[in-house]
Chain A
Amino acid sequence: NAGVTQTPKFQVLKTGQSMTLQCAQDMNHEYMSWYRQDPGMGLRLIHYSVGAGITDQGEVPNGYNVSRSTTEDFPLRLLSAAPSQTSVYFCASSYGPGLADNEQFFGPGTRLTVL
């Protein structure tokens, strides 16, 4: 059971380049989320999904796209990278409805630098 996996671990982009951050989970979780972590700002929700085919925006969605074609995968796309998107990105998943089941499990993170 690998839990939540993210690739790549590190990435350097030039302004204007595009890329996809990959996230996968093997726990059959319905809910998946993307956060960015910036110093002094904690973790901020970018996009989330409550199941395959269903996504919605979080606090800071601009500049990012997501899709959820399978339960397991939830990729995050940067269409035209900007220096303001330099951050550490975390993917998380949780079971779904139910008070006892909403612990979020986090991936190891992707450190992205945009030059």
Chain B
Amino acid sequence: AQRVTQPEKLLSVFKGAPVELKCNYSYSGSPELFWYVQYSRQRLQLLLRHISRESIKGFTADLNKGETSFHLKKPFAQEEDSAMYYCALSLSGNTGKLIFGQGTTLQVKP
């Protein structure tokens, strides 16, 4: 069965510290993985996707098929990074369906 696991409900770091939000997936097909972010009082929005291999707001994520992981990393956290982060899996064939993880709240303290 398809599944996305984010083991941490809450990650609290100080400003300037490195951040790693963990995401593991279970899927037998060819995965497409995404990170979505929800800032306070804002809509859920796409942060980045593995296929584009880009860095957005200093965040990067590498798909590791061997470890079935797609961890989100940033070398120096900023207070404005505080938000809820969701890892999501799109099934092959692009059916428009996303499987979301449980979400991790990132709290960046001053």
Note all chain B residues with C-beta closer than 8 A to A50: 95-96
Note all chain A residues with C-beta closer than 8 A to B34: 103
- The answer, yes or no, to whether B9 is at the interface (CB within 8 Å) is yes
Q: Scan residues 56-109 of chain B and give those whose CB is less than 8 A from a CB of chain A.
A: 86, 90, 94-103
From A32, A48, A49, A103, B46 is in contact (CB under 8 Å) with: A103
In the assembled complex, the Cα of A33 lies from the Cα of B99 at a distance in Å of 12
- The answer, yes or no, to whether B12 is at the interface (CB within 8 Å) is no
Interface size class of A (residues with CB under 8 A): 20 to 34
Q: Do B96 and A94 touch (CB < 8 A)? A: yes
Q: Do B43 and A102 touch (CB < 8 A)? A: no
Q: Do B102 and A97 touch (CB < 8 A)? A: no
**Identity of the chain B residue whose Cβ is nearest the Cβ of A6 in the assembled complex:** B43
Known contacts A103-B46, A103-B49, A106-B43; is-contact A44 B97 (Cβ 8 Å): no
Q: Do A33 and B96 touch (CB < 8 A)? A: yes
Q: Do A102 and B101 touch (CB < 8 A)? A: no
In the assembled complex, the Cα of A106 lies from the Cα of B36 at a distance in Å of 10
Note all chain B residues with C-beta closer than 8 A to A104: 46, 96, 98
With most chain A CB atoms within 10 A of its CB, the pick from B44, B45, B49, B95 is B44
With most chain B CB atoms within 10 A of its CB, the pick from A42, A44, A49, A108 is A42
Q: Do A108 and B96 touch (CB < 8 A)? A: no
- The answer, yes or no, to whether A96 is at the interface (CB within 8 Å) is yes
Known contacts A42-B86, A107-B43; is-contact A97 B94 (Cβ 8 Å): yes
- The answer, yes or no, to whether A53 is at the interface (CB within 8 Å) is no
- The answer, yes or no, to whether B51 is at the interface (CB within 8 Å) is yes
From A45, A99, A100, B98 is in contact (CB under 8 Å) with: A45
**Identity of the chain A residue whose Cβ is nearest the Cβ of B104 in the assembled complex:** A42
- Enumerate 8 A-B pairs (CB-CB under 8 Å) in ascending A order: A33-B97, A40-B9, A42-B86, A42-B101, A94-B96, A97-B94, A99-B32, A104-B96
| Residues of chain B whose beta carbon lies under 8 Å from any beta carbon of chain A | 4, 6, 9, 32, 34, 43-46, 49, 51, 86, 90, 94-103
| Residues of chain A whose beta carbon lies under 8 Å from any beta carbon of chain B | 30-33, 35, 40-45, 48-50, 58, 90, 92, 94, 96-100, 102-104, 106-109
